[in-house]
Structures are given as C-alpha cells and as structure tokens.
Structure 1
Amino acid sequence: MDSQADDIGITTIDTGFGDRPRFCAAYLVEHAGRAAFIDCGSNDSVPRMLAALDQQGLAREAIDWLVLTHVHLDHAGGAGTLMRALPNARLVVHPRGAPHMVDPSRLVAGATAVYGEVEFARSYGTLLPVPAERVVEAPDGHVVDLAGRPLLCADTPGHARHHIAVWDAASRSWFSGDIFGLAYPELVTGQGAFVVPTTSPVQFDPDEMRASVRRLLAEQPAAVHLTHYGRVDEVARLGTDLLEQVDAMVALARGCDGAADRHARLVEALTTLYVERARRHGVAGAHAVVPRLLAVDIELNAQGLEVWLDRAKR
C-alpha cells in the first residue's frame, strides 16, 4: 500500500521518491472533517498524495494546510504542483524557506549544480511557484489550527537553517522532517528501529542538531514521524543514539581533517561507525547491508561534515 492510516487521524504516505519503497514519507493529518498534509515529496509524488485523500474519503477542498518541515526537494519539490490541486490550502513553511516556495529559481539552480540538468529534470521535473498570498511563514511557536487540533511549529535547525518540526499534542508526537535522523524499515531488528543522523551538504551544524534533538525529547513524545521513514517509538533510546552518533561523527571528521584524501577517509570512517552500530543492533549481515542501504546517506553526511569543518575555519 502507498498509504497507511492509524487510529489518531494520521496517515503515512509513501511518496515513492526515487522509486524506492518506504524511503520517503509524507503525512496526512485529519480532524473534524478537515485535513493537513505534512511534507509532500516531489512532483512525481503528487498522484500518491491525492490518492491518499481518495483512500480516506476526503475531497481536495478538505485540505486546509500543506506544512513543509523544510524545502529540500525530496520533501517539498512537489509543493507548487500539489497546491494547484488543493483550492483551499495554504502552505506553511519556515520564514527562511518561504521565498523559495514563491520563487523556486534558487532551489532549481542549486540542485541543478549538484545533480546536473538531466538528473534534475528526471528526479524533480519543473518546480512550480506557490502564490505569495497562499504562503504562511511559521516562526518558532507558530500554531497551525487544524479545525481545533493545534499543530505547533518548532524552529529546529541543525540539518538546515530553514527547518521546523511539528508537534501534534493530540497524538503526543512529532513530525520531525530530517532533524531526528533516518530509520529505514530494512534495518529494524528485534531491538527496534536503527537510527542514523542526517546532515545536509550545506547547513549542517552539530551543536544546533543536538539542541534540536533535545528539544524534541523534552516533550517526552509517544512517537516521532520520520520522513525517512515512518513512525518510530522508543523515542528516548533513539534520541540517545542520535546524540551519541553526532558526537562520534564530529570526532571522526576532526580526525580526518587535514588529510589530502579527507573525503575518502571520512566516508570510510562513517561507514565503519554505522556498520559497527548496526552489528551491535542485531542487523544481519551489517557489513554488506549498511554500505549498500546507506551509501547515499554516508556520502551526504561526509559532505555535510566537511562543509561544517571548513566553515568553522573561516
């Protein structure tokens, strides 16, 4: 199934990003006949988002909000297209991200520089702007009113400076975007989910990430809804794991700094870190599974750590 609902009005939607199942999620939150999407995937994800409405028996007009945790394109690339299908919806985004939704040209330029024109077109298509009058900026503490169900937006930098997490008091859970790491279903064992921090190549900051993780933990949530991927419980344990790994990643990055082959050394060191932690977590064949499953994430984490190192020197 592309989407799965629970008994507290939250549906997990597999956005199908990159044609990889259960890799990237968006969420549908329903209350009193009204609904909000949290994140939306890319343009290719829009049919899945609309199919989730059909599955839940909701009209397009019932969607009041599209809330973006941040504007990275695996979370927000389809926002302009999706908003055109939702006549009553307004888009909620961090103040730093709002200009990029109204005019996505800088997002396009940045992603094209990284991926190239052919790959960008294949993965993301044409990014459509969202009319400025439909965009709501969400500074820290902003509350989205979903028919009386408050959704609190918390400024949670560390992965990106334009990142929010969304607190749903009704379910006592966070929608964490990328600030609470990633936990792929393939790495779940009898000990539960296996979580890994995720940096970004440009805006990673370990101190901010630690503070944001601790902020989420302070609410003693019953669950966290990850973009990569799905609902996780055992939040206190996972938060401790994330904080430990951020510390370890920073130490590895500093240990590799100054080497002529810094990037290659850091990729190898991060791979060893995650393999060993996965092995202790009971992941069968961790030495083979982890490098295959986390290859892109390890590369991005290495890039994020290196950009952070270099920024700190300036």
Structure 2
Amino acid sequence: LPLFVTPKPILKLLNIKSGIDEKAYQFFLKTTQHIIRQRKAEKNNHKKYNDFIQLLVDAENHKEELHDENDVNEAHHVNQGAEELEMERKTLSANFLNKQLTESEIMAQGYVIFAAGYETTATTLTFCSYELALNPSVQERLYEEVEAAVDADGEISYEDLAKLPFLDAVLSETLRKYPPIIKLQRKAMADYKLGDTGIQLFKSQDVEIPVYAIHHSEEYYPQPEKFIPDRFLPENRHKITPYTYIPFGAGPRNCIGMRFALMEAKLGLVQIVRRYRFFRSPQTAVPLEFKPITLLCSPKSVIIGIEKR
C-alpha cells in the first residue's frame, strides 16, 4: 500500500519499483483520457452513456451535495446503532463538492476504481466457488433461488438481483470468512477514549482495525471457521453486533466501490452457478493456505472440480 500511494519521483529517487506495470498504467490513462475527451465532444449531440466515467464527466462542472439518502441505508450488514447513523448523516450532509473535477482527477478516480475492484472481486468469487464446492447443499439452494429469478432468456434485472436473500447471504458469508482487505488503516482526527476499555487514542495517531480477526472471532460469530450463509439472512441480521462485519469498512469513508463490487460479484455468481456445478476434488486443499501478503487476503492456490449443469 505505501508503494501504491508514494509519488513516483520519490520512488525513482530511492530506486524503488512500485510494482505497477508502467506500460499498462499509461495505456489505461491514455484510454481514459481519450474517452473523457470524446464524451465532452459528443455532449452537444445529446448522446448519453451509463457508466462510471460518464458520472465523473457529468460531475466535472457541477457543484453537487454528496449526501444520498441511500448511503446510510446500504451499509451491507454493518448494523450501525442509532447514534452512529445520526453522526454519519450529519457528516454526509456536511460534505459538499465545492470544486470542479479536473481531467487528471477523473482519470485518477477511474484508475483507483479499476485497480481496487478487479483483484478483490475476482478473489471473492474464487473463495465463494471454493466454499460452494465444499458445501453442495448450499450450492443447490443458491442454484434454486437463482433459477427462479432469471427470465426465459437467462437474464436478471438489477432490481431482482438485489432482492435475492440467499445470494446476498452467500456472498456476505464469503466476505466475512475471506475479507478482501484483512485490516483497515485510519488516523485519529482528535483525542478519543474508547468507551470503558481504558484505551486512549491521541490526535494524529495511526490506528489499524484487524478486519480478519474480528470476522473470525468466536465472540461475534459462533463456529467462525464454518461457512454458514444463514447468519446473513434477513431474519438473522439483528444478531450481528454493530461494526463486527466490515469487509468494506464503515462510516462516511467506507469503500467507495462497495455497491458496484456487490452487484458485480452477484451478477457474476448468478451466471456461474446457473451454468456450472462445483465439487471437491482429491487436490482440493482444506483448509486453504494464504500468500504471505500483509494487506490482501489471497490464496496460494484454489483447486476444485467443475462440471457443466
């Protein structure tokens, strides 16, 4: 992570490689720049595109309030209390976009969404496929729900996709057991005492939240090493302790791509489960071994069987 955010001139001065393929990086920036300028040129033609770049282009010349009534209602099982929700509403309501977005900022935001969303979503689907292979009853239950929701052409609408409770539960349990980011990093903006814990945070102090450890705590999740999607069904969500399920972080600075990532993963999972069945093979490792990386939850290898339905 430090290499990702450190300015390139400093890395060059220290003779440190960032790990980012410069050729691919420049290709992405040039492609994005071309799209931005093309969209601006077509603006008077009333041609409209429904994608992330277009949202940024539209926001370039507008002062818009960042608050959205859905922001505090789509916390993805964080289960914030009333006090926390009210504080978040005030924070979101106080945030305004008072400046125009530059072309460079649009390109930068596009790159961040692409870089942050690609690997984490792919890894989440890999972990989910692995758990479905080990839990055939869960897999068939998911298949039945999905089959009942798709139309005659095998398509599913955005609205219907968001209304599949077991699909959401399966993906949520995957993100609990295998959070894409194993820890969150924050900086205290003021001195703060953590309830009656005796822990005192001081302004500017760095804080790390151990997401993986919280998600695997017996105190919050009985049998944490077992894959139990029912934990996240609507009738059981009230049992989740606030802030003990945070694969996307929480509060006004949670993951900016949360909704997109969830819809992308759900849509991918629907199409995969409809077409293929996963099963455990003699080479399937139980439990999985992970790469020694400090930030991402990445498996060394995932081997399962797959057959067409």
Category of TM-score, reference length = shorter chain: under 0.3
Structure 1 or 2: more helix by fraction: 2
Higher RCO structure (Cα 8 Å, ≥6 apart): 2
Q: Which has the larger radius of gyration?
A: 2
Structure 1 or 2: more strand by fraction: 1
| TM-score where L is the length of structure 1 | 0.22
| TM-score where L is the length of structure 2 | 0.23
